[in-house]
Amino acid sequence: MKRIGLLVLAVLLAFSVASVSANGAKEGGQIVIGANIYSFADNFMNGVMKPEFERYATTLGAKLEMVDSEGQQAKLNDQIDVFITKKVSVLAINLVDPAAAKAVIAKAKAAGIPLILFNKEPTEAGAMASYDKVWYVGTNSAESGIIQGQMMVSDWKANPKWDLNGDGVVQYVLLKGEPGHPDAEARTKESVKAFVDAGIKVQQLALEADPNWSTQHGNDKMAAWLTSSFGKSIELVICNNDGMAFGAINALKAAGVKLPLYGVDALDQALTHIADGEMNGTVLNDGVNQARATLDLAVRAAMGKPVTEGTTWKLSTDGTKAVRVAYLPVTPKNYQDFRKK
């Protein structure tokens, strides 16, 4: 008897040791969302989307595990691996490198975990089709560029004084953002195209790509341009996001120069800059609704339901399996509407 008792004790002990490590995800059947932000250093991602993610996840009753990929796809790959090992219910991934989409999708597919990609769309054709449980939430990359372009064109036409040398050609500099990022590429192309389409000639004085879309980089680059040979010729500053625009504004203020400047994202700070007359317009990249759409899809995917069931989101019908959140122009006339309620 005594010996059996000891044996039982030993077995129990061994089990208790083993079980300590075994309590992974899905506590009490709760949906666990493994999510990332490609970089917490990104003003838009960290200031708009992340808070809404956290707030809305609580509303939905899901557990959100959000990590910072620090702008390294290698880091994100590692984080995805950890999420999968922890058996999260669903992945909400903000790719660092859009080119890595296929590998990430294949990984999720192998693990059988639904995957919602958001904000950075896979560049590769066919990637989305390779897995039935992957969806994308984002914007129409081109749309932001088009809206920004239209704003700039109408302002340019309304302000003849902006043509400093009076040659009828827009001499602009452009802070592009991450090369290869569909938004960066599309915005660059569409914003300039708006001038061309309106019959206004453009001349690009400089274009700077920054993989991190960072304020610091925007500041450094703008400062360099202002002191360069073409510094005096700059008539327009196009920024593909507000973060870089803030940097540019800083550099302009430091140099005591006032130039028309446009951004994208409509961050709170951007509205302030518009109010202060330091910024001429931005485009609302509706981060709040992107975050909501991402979580709505994620929770439904985790439950195995149709992802847009009971929501107002519409899946695109062009095979990209995307929910696209619309952009809105923000100008000195209407910026008040976008102030935090």
Partner 1 sequence: MSKPSISIGLNIFIATMGIVSVILLLTSLVFLAVFSRTIDDVVVTQSREINKQIVMNFEGYINSVIETANYIQFASFDMDTETDAEALAELYRTNSDMKKDVVAVFLFDAAGRTLVGPTLDFTLADSVAALPWFSLARDLKEIFHFSSTGESSIAGGRDEGVISVSKSIEYTRNGITSDGVLLIELNNESITDLARKTNLGEGGHLLILDDRDALLYSSEPPQGTMTAASYALARSLYLGGTRASIERVDMYLYVNTLLHTRWRIVTVSNVDEINGAMRRISGILVAIFAVAVAVSAAVAGIISLQVSRPVTQLRKVMRRIEEGDFSMPVDVSGQKEIVLLSHSFSSMVQKIQELMARLVAEQREKRKTELRALQNQINPHFLYNTLDSIVWLAENQRTGDVITTVVALARLFRISISKGENFITVQDEVSHVRNYLTIQTIRYQDKFTYELELQPDMSEMKVMKLILQPLVENAIQHGVGDDDGHITITGTIEGDFMVFRVSNTGYGIPDSKIEEMYETMRGGTEHPSVGMRNVYQRLKLYYGEQADITISSVQDESTTMTIFIPVDGREGRQP
**Residues near partner 1, by CB under 8 A:** 3, 6, 9-10, 13-14, 17, 21, 72-75, 77-78, 80-81, 84-85, 96-100, 102-104, 106-107, 110, 123-125, 179-180, 182, 185-186, 203-204, 206-207, 209, 211
Closest CB to partner 1 among residues 50, 107: 107
Closest CB to partner 1 among residues 104, 175: 104
SS3 category, 209: strand
Is residue 110 within 8 Å of residue 130, measured between CB atoms? no
Smallest distance, partner 1 to C-beta of residue 261, A: 21
Closest CB to partner 1 among residues 144, 250: 144
Smallest distance, partner 1 to C-beta of residue 15, A: 12
Q: Which residue has the tokens 């327009």?
A: 236
Burial (CB < 10 A; 0-12, 13-18, 19+), residue 101, is buried
Smallest distance, partner 1 to C-beta of residue 324, A: 17
Closest CB to partner 1 among residues 240, 269: 240
Positive or negative torsion for Cα 124, 129, 130, 135? positive
Closest CB to partner 1 among residues 51, 179: 179
Q: How many CA atoms lie within 13 A of 34 on its CB side?
A: 24
157: nearest Cα among 146, 147, 170: 170
Smallest distance, partner 1 to C-beta of residue 146, A: 16
Smallest distance, partner 1 to C-beta of residue 207, A: 6
- Sequence-distant (6+) residues with CB within 8 A of 269 are 43, 242, 246
Smallest distance, partner 1 to C-beta of residue 181, A: 9
C-alpha pair distances (Å), 6 with each of 1, 3, 95, 142: 9, 5, 53, 71
Closest CB to partner 1 among residues 54, 78: 78
For helices 215-227 and 242-255, the axis angle rounded to 10 degrees is 40
Burial (CB < 10 A; 0-12, 13-18, 19+), residue 41, is middle
Smallest distance, partner 1 to C-beta of residue 209, A: 6
How many secondary structure helices (H) and strands (E) does the chain include?
11, 12
Closest CB to partner 1 among residues 46, 73: 73
